[in-house]
Amino acid sequence: MYAEPAAPQRSVAAPRSGDGYWRRLLPLLLLLACLTRVPSFAHPLWNPDEGYLAVQARILAHGGELYETVVDRKPPLVPWLYQGAFALAGSDSLLPVRLLAVLAHLVTAALLASLARRRWGNAAGRTAGVLYLLISVGLNPEDAQAAGFEVFILPCTAAAVWCADRRRWAAAGLAVGCAFLTKQTGGAVLLPVLWLCGPSWAGLLGIGAGAVLPVLAAALLTDPSGFLFWTVTGSGAYASFTGSELHVLARALANSALLTGACAGLLTPLARGLRNRPGDCADLWLWTGSSAAAVITGFHFFGHYYLQLTPPLALLATAALRGLPTPQRTRALATTALCTALFLTWGLLAPRPELTHAQRLAEAITRHTSPHDRVLLWGMHPETYWLSDRTPATRYLTAGFLTNYSGGRNGPNVGERYAMKHAWRTFHRELATQAPRLIVDDSRGKPYAPDRIRPLRRLLEGYEEVAVVGGAVLYARAASR
């Protein structure tokens, strides 16, 4: 017989409304959200995901179609968000989306504070909101400070659990659907939502309807077959680490160690809470477990994947700190704040060699082309298109779609034969329609270099080398062509 999950533990004294709690807490959370995101405004770009989204947004703004004119293995919500921000504030700076990222962190912190306050009281609410903002910067700055997909997943997942905690099932399902439309792994929050629902058919129907409707709407607004292929069925080869096991394992260990270091002051309370009262926060442990599964999915273990773990970890840490004496709680919070300060210092002072390279390369591209020329960038840094303000010659903004190379994949499964289905056929058709004025080989010795990709070598036969920038080679179309 099905056993209904235990209700989350509640505070004996219910929080009172109208006591000025939020009027005092929200400014504090806003200030902390701004302070912990100061490094994000220090550079024009933090990682290739931001560059990819910026290029997508520009193409969409000029009449392009998602999953047709420009493609990615992601749902459409964040590209649309970038497009909207650029429409309001221009596309020359990522400042508007960085401000939206700060807002996303603030909303997430407020929702977690509300969850903790409802369960354990006012002090717990403050602790949860503050802890989340502190530990969410505990990764490599290029992962924690970028306005990427995972940042915009977080308010959706927190909203899903917040609604489920209040038995607002349709709204919880809608938040799950929005999390999936931000990035597929956001759908992992469905598990704790279903746990909180239990065997309620009305609740399950509400969750299902709420989750399906936004996804169906997004598919109809784009192209249903393209949406299905690019978000679900077309990423089989990408979601594998065959041949790159040691490389992937090293990245997983490094990023796990970084987040563990950010939570160093909370590890002992968390372990004690798991050992002494594992059932008190069953839904939160399930949320943590489903988020960990989202990190593992695809076997890439990029640092920004780990952001999805931070909301449930903040709530679990809040629950664990409640039973500690005041000196121990203070020590745990102070240690966490110190770790946060170290990560922020890293973000402000660390050099950005790849950004410097992309900027120099963009300057060279602008010297050898005119604004209306099309450019083919053979590499993994699409931000160069955005920095140079040049139109891509193909819908494939990186070489990864044509070679299966991604994130330093260094195994044997890289090359023409591992490309996405029909990608080379589409690529040749696009270049035959309008050949690029400039081809930039930015492979720099990676496994997808032209000497290993026969179709690219043939393409370069009609081009002449005109410049070399930091190992990247620029080829201009020969005058006879």
Q: What is the band of 8 on the pLDDT scale with cuts at 50, 70, 90?
A: low
pTM: 0.93
Give every strand in the sheet of 374-378, ordered side by side.
Answer: 391-392, 374-378, 438-441, 472-477, 463-469
| Predicted pLDDT of residue 3 | 44
| Contact in structure between 39 and 47 (CB atoms under 8 Å) | no
3-state secondary structure the chain: CCCCCCCCCCCCCCCCCCCCHHHHHHHHHHHHHHHHCHHHHCCCCCCHHHHHHHHHHHHHHCCCCECCCECCCCCCHHHHHHHHHHHHHCCCCCHHHHHHHHHHHHHHHHHHHHHHHHHHCHHHHHHHHHHHHHHCCCCCHHHHCCCCHHHHHHHHHHHHHHHHHCCCHHHHHHHHHHHHHHCHHHHHHHHHHHHHHCCCHHHHHHHHHHHHHHHHHHHHHCCHHHHHHHHHHCCCCCCCCCCCHHHHHHHHHHHHHHHHHHCHHHHHHHHHHHHHCCCCCHHHHHHHHHHHHHHHCCCCCCHHHHHHHHHHHHHHHHHHHHCCCHHHHHHHHHHHHHHHHHHHHHHHHCCCHHHHHHHHHHHHHHHHCCCCCEEEEECCCCHHHHHHCCEECCCCCCCHHHHCCCCCCCCCCCCHHHCCCCHHHHHHHHHHHCCCCEEEECCCCCCCCHHHCHHHHHHHCCEEEEEEECCEEEEEECCCC
| Predicted pLDDT of residue 323 | 80
| Predicted pLDDT of residue 126 | 97
Per-residue pLDDT at 16 exceeds 80: no
Q: Is the backbone of residue 473 left (phi > 0), alpha (psi -120 to 50) or beta? A: beta
| Predicted pLDDT of residue 270 | 84
Per-residue pLDDT at 237 exceeds 90: no
Q: What is the band of 245 on the pLDDT scale with cuts at 50, 70, 90?
A: confident
Contacts 24+ apart (CB under 8 A), 118-123: 118/10, 118/11, 118/15, 118/165, 119/8, 119/9, 119/10, 119/11, 119/319, 120/9, 120/10, 120/11, 120/318, 120/319, 120/322, 121/11, 121/13, 121/15, 122/15, 122/21
Residues 283-312 have a mean pLDDT of 95
Q: What is the band of 236 on the pLDDT scale with cuts at 50, 70, 90?
A: low
Task: At 242, list the tokens.
Answer: 């065959």
| Predicted pLDDT of residue 1 | 36
State the average pLDDT for the chain. 92
Q: What is the band of 12 on the pLDDT scale with cuts at 50, 70, 90?
A: very low
Residues 51-76 have a mean pLDDT of 96
What residues have CB less than 8 Å from 139, skipping those under 6 apart? 255, 258, 259, 262, 303, 304, 306, 307, 343
